[in-house]
Structure 1
Amino acid sequence: RSTNKMNKLFLCSSTELEIRKTTREQRGMNNYNGKVLTRGSNQIRSRFVKKNGQCNVVFTNMEERRQRYLADIFTTCVDIRWRYLFSIFCISFLLSWLLFGIIFYSVSLAHGDFENLPTQKGDGLMPCILHVQGFVGALLFSMETQTTIGYGWRCVTEECPVAVITVVVQSIIGCIIDSFMIGTIMAKMARPKKRNQTLMFSKNAVIALRDSKLCLMWRVGNLRKSHIVEAHVRAQLIRSYVTEEGEFIPLEQMDLNVGYDEGTDRLFLVSPLVVIHEIDKDSPLYTLSKADLEADDFEIVVILEGMVEATAMTTQFRSSYLAREIFWGHRFEPVIFEDRDRYKVDYARFHKTYEVPSTPHLSAKELDEAASRASSAGAFCYENEVALSCGEEDEDIFDSSQIVGLERGEERRTSANNTTPKCTTGCEVFANRIM
């Protein structure tokens, strides 16, 4: 055994690291030499989903892996690479021809068909297989039988029932092999996986204001004229998370709402569209500011699903955006232009963005708090103004009552109080304005 041990890389929090160290010390595992990556490390996290949609995951230490894969041999053959499938295709036919060729040769050998071959025509003996004079002839007869070539030169006779039964068995097995291999190749060719080559996500995502709301946006496009039927999008935020108990979850998945309730997640993907995630109170990005985006380490996985119009098979296209691939305060350049009686899509602008300097650097939470404070301050000032105007009217009425006599002043004061319009509070006025 080699003395060089593979260094293992773990993701864990500082609290969980202390728990693991304590546990290992109690168990006597002081010879551990693994490297530990804590949350305070500056190392950039590995991408969970690559830009081309492949998942960056490797399975290890799987029990009975071969048995499980062989139990679902059809799916295994469909998923493997073309060169491996072509090798299986050739090997399966060659082995079947070789196996039955050996059987035919053994039957002829046991019957004595290869003895005294030059005098075989005149002695009246009928061989099991006509015109088979050795192993090569038996192999050719096996291939001609299974592929139904039928040259008409070699054929089985009624002399040997074993040879007749072998021909029947080989015909059945040949049909099974043909059906399996043709079905596998057709299923592999008809898979909608290659349809993803003509679907495209923008290289970067952006965060900007859309209708006075901070939104995360990315662009998706279809390069073919054939449609993706029932196309809809999903998005998930993947980031590390430490529980209250100190357990570190390296890949916690949280959904990003892209319009499930309103139905805006369903796309009519004829031209490039911009998918929008509104950063509200229910969003995991609610507390994310521009400074946090530059220092944070997370990944957003975007998924487009739909049915291929030609085959009605479901396809899925994936991509991802790391935190450093999200531009704060940018918008996508327009790609659709009206050209006479039709619309023109310029895919040269598909990935391009432009900066919007007016975008605030605050998080959505801070913007909501600032708007709430401004609204409260405006309502308070308006209430004070209304109260002050009501007070001035009362003072004017009191001064006018001093000019006349006590009785007439009392009557005028009573009349003025009855005719003075009722003053409402600032809260009531603010509520009426909202209504």
Structure 2
Amino acid sequence: MALENSVFTSLPESLSLPVSEKGEGPVAAETAPAPPTGVIDVSEELGNVVTTDTVLPPEKPAARSFQSKLAAREAQAAAGQPRKKVQGAGTEKGKFGWGRSKRRRQRYVEKNGRCNVQHGNMRETYRYLTDIFTTLVDLNWRCSLFVFVMAYAVTWLFFGAIWYLIAYCRGDLDHLEDETWTPCVNNVNGFISAFLFSIETETTIGYGHRVITDQCPVGTILLLLQAILGSMVNAFMVGCMFVKISQPNKRAETLVFSRNAVISLRDDRLCLMFRVGDLRSSHIVGANMRAKLIKSKQTQEGEFIPLDQTDISVGFETGDDRLFLVSPLVISHEIDAHSPFWEMSQAHLEKDDFEIVVILEGMVEATGMTCQARSSYLADEVLWGHRFSPMMSLAEGFFDIDYGAFHHTFEVDTSSSSARELSLAAARLEAHLYWSISSRLDEEKWDGPNLTGHSEKQPGRGSANGKGGVGPTFALGQTTEVQDQSGQGEQNGSVTTDQSESEA
């Protein structure tokens, strides 16, 4: 104790703590005033003496606006500095404290529109041959080019071998130097020359050196067959390549969807929104938008349905799903009682696991073929309390669209409650206002001069002895006129007498 008084005499009393010596219990100390809020006490034990140091926390930086944050990010990117990775709500701490990303859901539809589904254990593969044209069109480019080359090469080789077989059977190869011998095809002296004659016949080139003669009826029939079959092969393969080249799948590459979907209030209603745009000047005719919720569920009977598809309304009832896609549009889904997100709050969104598939269909204006573009949003790609940045401005004589802000969003004030909770709160508020106004109106009617004037007896309206039954009748929220019972009795042809006189 002497050490404490001699060495640490300069410490304030507010920072002194009770000290207990060895073998003794805790020493009662005077109650010291509590340290101010925000002060951290760090205790350090030096032998039997305990001291405390106060450390003030660093001041919190002032909140920055969205424009300042965006400018800072652009400046940082221009300087070439790497962005700092901040652990968010979707990350978990690993074994050594490092941030570990949360396992992402396997996508049903990729961002580029490709469906992540593979068919296996198919036993009825012969069905592909029944629709050989569609099968060839659906092949990738390497397989399509291989089939295209092999189709011509096989037919040329096949008919070349037949021409060589005819020349060999007739003995034309044994009379090559005999000028009196008339062969089936002039100047065919081997398989190579027969193969070249097959190519000239099928492609109708006709160099004029190898010519069929009129002394070979079998060759004439074969020539007709090769010409007909060659035309069929040309029509089939050229048609496949033309359809494959003109497929509208590449047209879908210029139909873009926003990187994230947002949830915020629009006209005092919670809405799920995403943005879609067309990069080409040629338009999509009759564009139509659809959306599906992909989420596994279990029925009341215990049946598990993997990847169940639920329709998300984007304006089918009102016709808002039919788009005039000249400029980028924000597609909105109102979260109402029929929406699958009716009971989803911000906390539920962070824990939920689902996928939203959006589909844009329309007809290409240049070719008249139907085009379909697809994309998807996982649960962690849906931003709660955000709104898309505007990207259209008015220039000299036209509207200028800045696609640099196509994916940009900014935060807005949005309640973290679900649409159902917001609807109940609005209903309670409306009911409270309704009953409060009704009660005030009732008070004014009860205390007003009209009610007192009707309650007084009017002379000449009662019976002869002044004891006619006169009484006001009241209803909830309104008053009715005072009716004279005796007057009604006289009108009905009856005589009303006093109850006391009848008893006498």
TM-score interval, normalised by the smaller of the two chains = 0.7 to 0.9
- Residues 69-106 of structure 1, C-alpha deviation per residue, up to 9 Å, x if partnerless? 11111001111111111111111111111111111111
Once the two structures are TM-superposed, the CA of residue 385 in structure 1 deviates from its matched residue by: 2.3
> 1:368 is matched with which residue: 414, 423, 427?
423
Structure 1 contact 44–297 (Cα < 8 Å) conserved: no
Q: In 2, Cα distance between the equivalents of 1:312 and 1:173?
A: 32
Once the two structures are TM-superposed, the CA of residue 47 in structure 1 deviates from its matched residue by: 0.7
Equivalence for 1:238: 294
Equivalence for 2:383: 327
- Residues 183-227 of structure 1, C-alpha deviation per residue, up to 9 Å, x if partnerless? 111111111111011110101000010011110100000000101
Once the two structures are TM-superposed, the CA of residue 389 in structure 1 deviates from its matched residue by: 3.1
Equivalence for 1:270: 326
Q: In 1, Cα distance between the equivalents of 2:168 and 2:210?
A: 16
Question: Which of the two has greater helix per residue?
Answer: 1
The reply to whether residue 187 of structure 1 matches residue 246 of structure 2 is no
The reply to whether residue 337 of structure 1 matches residue 397 of structure 2 is no
Equivalence for 1:77: 136
Once the two structures are TM-superposed, the CA of residue 233 in structure 1 deviates from its matched residue by: 0.4
Flag the 1:125–1:366 CA change in 2: closer, same or farther, 3 A: same
**Structure 1 spans left out of the alignment, 5+ residues:** 1-41, 402-408, 427-435
Equivalence for 1:167: 223
Q: In 1, Cα distance between the equivalents of 2:380 and 2:347?
A: 12
Q: TM-score scaled by structure 1?
A: 0.80
Once the two structures are TM-superposed, the CA of residue 182 in structure 1 deviates from its matched residue by: 0.7
Displaced runs of 4 or more, over 6 A: none
Q: In 2, Cα distance between the equivalents of 1:363 and 1:185?
A: 52
Give 3-state SS (helix, strand or coil) of 1:316's partner.
strand
Structure 1 contact 299–321 (Cα < 8 Å) conserved: yes
Which residue identity is paired with 1:352? Answer: H
> 1:64 is matched with which residue: 102, 110, 124?
124
> 1:425 is matched with which residue: 465, 477, 490?
477
Once the two structures are TM-superposed, the CA of residue 157 in structure 1 deviates from its matched residue by: 1.2
Equivalence for 2:435: 380
Once the two structures are TM-superposed, the CA of residue 424 in structure 1 deviates from its matched residue by: 6.6
> 2:196 is matched with which residue: 111, 131, 140?
140
Aligned residue runs from structure 1 range 224-235, under 5 A:
224-235=280-291
Which residue identity is paired with 1:48? Answer: Y
- Residues 230-263 of structure 1, C-alpha deviation per residue, up to 9 Å, x if partnerless? 1110111111110011111111111111111211
Q: In 2, Cα distance between the equivalents of 1:233 and 1:410?
A: 73
Q: In 1, Cα distance between the equivalents of 2:377 and 2:427?
A: 32
Flag the 1:397–1:137 CA change in 2: closer, same or farther, 3 A: closer
Q: In 1, Cα distance between the equivalents of 2:404 and 2:249?
A: 25
Q: In 2, Cα distance between the equivalents of 1:102 and 1:223?
A: 54
Higher-Rg member (1/2): 2
Q: In 2, Cα distance between the equivalents of 1:198 and 1:177?
A: 34
- Residues 290-338 of structure 1, C-alpha deviation per residue, up to 9 Å, x if partnerless? 1111111111110111100001111010001111100001000001100
**Greater relative contact order (Cα 8 A, min sep 6): structure 1 or 2?**
1
Once the two structures are TM-superposed, the CA of residue 384 in structure 1 deviates from its matched residue by: 2.6
Give 3-state SS (helix, strand or coil) of 1:163's partner.
helix
Flag the 1:375–1:393 CA change in 2: closer, same or farther, 3 A: same
Equivalence for 2:7: none
**Structure 2 spans left out of the alignment, 5+ residues:** 1-101, 462-469, 479-504
Once the two structures are TM-superposed, the CA of residue 159 in structure 1 deviates from its matched residue by: 2.0
Which residue identity is paired with 2:360? Answer: L
Give 3-state SS (helix, strand or coil) of 1:179's partner.
helix
The reply to whether residue 53 of structure 1 matches residue 113 of structure 2 is yes
- Residues 157-191 of structure 1, C-alpha deviation per residue, up to 9 Å, x if partnerless? 12221111111111111000000011111111111
Structure 1 contact 390–423 (Cα < 8 Å) conserved: no
Give 3-state SS (helix, strand or coil) of 2:197's partner.
helix
Which residue identity is paired with 1:375? Answer: E
The reply to whether residue 91 of structure 1 matches residue 143 of structure 2 is no
Equivalence for 1:286: 342
Q: In 2, Cα distance between the equivalents of 1:354 and 1:411?
A: 72
Identity %: 49
Q: In 2, Cα distance between the equivalents of 1:369 and 1:64?
A: 55
Flag the 1:396–1:287 CA change in 2: closer, same or farther, 3 A: closer
Once the two structures are TM-superposed, the CA of residue 425 in structure 1 deviates from its matched residue by: 2.5
Give 3-state SS (helix, strand or coil) of 2:310's partner.
strand
Give 3-state SS (helix, strand or coil) of 2:344's partner.
coil
Give 3-state SS (helix, strand or coil) of 2:192's partner.
helix
Flag the 1:97–1:213 CA change in 2: closer, same or farther, 3 A: same
Q: In 1, Cα distance between the equivalents of 2:142 and 2:448?
A: 94
Which residue identity is paired with 2:239? Answer: G
Aligned residue runs from structure 1 range 386-401, under 5 A:
386-393=441-448, 397=452
Structure 2 contact 105–378 (Cα < 8 Å) conserved: no
Structure 1 contact 304–317 (Cα < 8 Å) conserved: yes
Q: In 2, Cα distance between the equivalents of 1:259 and 1:185?
A: 39
Q: In 2, Cα distance between the equivalents of 1:288 and 1:220?
A: 24
Compute the RMSD of aligned alpha carbons.
2.3
Structure 1 contact 386–423 (Cα < 8 Å) conserved: no
Equivalence for 1:196: 252
Aligned residue runs from structure 1 range 308-323, under 5 A:
308-323=364-379
Once the two structures are TM-superposed, the CA of residue 288 in structure 1 deviates from its matched residue by: 0.9
Q: In 2, Cα distance between the equivalents of 1:343 and 1:396?
A: 65
Give 3-state SS (helix, strand or coil) of 2:287's partner.
strand
